[in-house]
Structure 1
């Protein structure tokens, strides 16, 4: 058996400690935080001088296009859509997280089909109006 010099033994010990510290970092690293699941206020009717309808406490939008690749995808608008779908129209969009994902899009398509709207998965003026006034298309 070969005996290591004290300098070499110290270097090997130091490398071993460093390797253990790195391994501990990987084992104890916290997982990525999950998306925030927002709570919706109880959807209620709201009336303004121009519009009336169901409001879930996130956004009072009526016209912006919200959907895959749309510029109107603000978190507040998406949360409002998720809340209206889930609590007013009983269609599950998944977590109420304000993120436009595949479950939210699928829920919008399902809702649009049931409301006799073009089922394109994009919430535009017709779908907003239908979501707000009770689940059917109102021209």
Structure 2
């Protein structure tokens, strides 16, 4: 295949959008990666869908209004029987997928052995496949419901989803990695460290990350730590918990540390968004620490100790 795994993953993240359940999102990306190792290029085509988007789909081929707005489009064919709130997509619990040509330029919708193999990988990860339904076959569809009905989800009940991955990692960094070199240069300029820009995540780069964290904790939270690049109990206890929405240099350090461990948070921009949340969640599960999507003391200690 000439299409890169990273391209398929990036496209899939974009298509799933915001509002995905983190277990569903992480499992979907793992499915893409596992299929790729078997020579199958697959991409997620849809993920979270708003109620308005669901209304638009339901209105294709029929007269329909929702929340006072007309969504009728009788000129088109019916594509779904699910009204708003009656699709697991509306709760970030479902995805759709398709096979991609080896060069990444064409979507292939033929349900053949490759398609069935991807569905089997998905089921192994905990998804239910629409191709197994008896009344209506929905071959692109995979969902994790946690056994909850639409009524329960509409009432705000959260599903408890089994996490079936022993380890979920993005490709490991290696010596000469250009992004690691960029991280090293940023550390040198921002925190006056003097590490070699060789693209290798070694002890010196780890120490520089700790120095950066100690510096930021002192400046932003008046922690009065000794900036020595050593991970000790005082530094551990001084760490602050980060979650989605956080922004700034400490978030950048978290992103850099995750990338160094092989979990790609996307752009290292200091903004704790969906990609960073997904990478953190994957790292926490792989490291067998509390997978709460929050970078607290336990996570910082595991990343930098």
**Short-chain TM bin:** 0.5 to 0.7
Structure with greater Cα Rg? 1
Structure 2 counterpart of 1:59, from 196, 200, 213: 213
Distance 1:55 1:132 in 2: 10
Matches within 5 A, 1:19-34: none
Which residue pairs with 2:183 in the alignment? 40
CA contact (8 A) 2:243 2:295 kept: yes
CA contact (8 A) 2:247 2:272 kept: no
Secondary structure at the residue paired with 1:104? Answer: helix
Structure 1 counterpart of 2:279, from 96, 107, 115: 107
Matches within 5 A, 1:117-136: 117-133=289-305
Structure 2 alignment gaps of length 5 or more: 1-178, 185-196, 218-235
Q: 1:40 offset after TM fit, Å?
A: 1.1
Distance 1:77 1:120 in 2: 19
Distance 1:58 1:95 in 2: 19
Q: 1:75 offset after TM fit, Å?
A: 1.1
Distance 1:100 1:106 in 2: 10
Distance 1:109 1:54 in 2: 24
TM-score normalised according to structure 2 size? 0.26
Does 1:68 pair with 2:68? no
- Cα gap change, 1:75/1:96 in structure 2, threshold over 3 Å: closer, same or farther? same
- Per mean C-alpha deviation after superposition, the further-off stretch among 60-69 and 108-117 is 60-69
Structure scoring higher RCO (CA < 8 A, sep ≥ 6) equals 1
Matches within 5 A, 1:90-101: 90-101=262-273
Which residue pairs with 2:80 in the alignment? none
Which residue pairs with 1:80 in the alignment? 253
- Cα gap change, 1:54/1:91 in structure 2, threshold over 3 Å: closer, same or farther? farther
Distance 1:93 1:75 in 2: 15
TM-score normalised according to structure 1 size? 0.53
Structure 1 alignment gaps of length 5 or more: 1-36, 47-52, 134-139
Count, aligned residues:
86
Q: 1:82 offset after TM fit, Å?
A: 0.7
Distance 2:263 2:292 in 1: 16
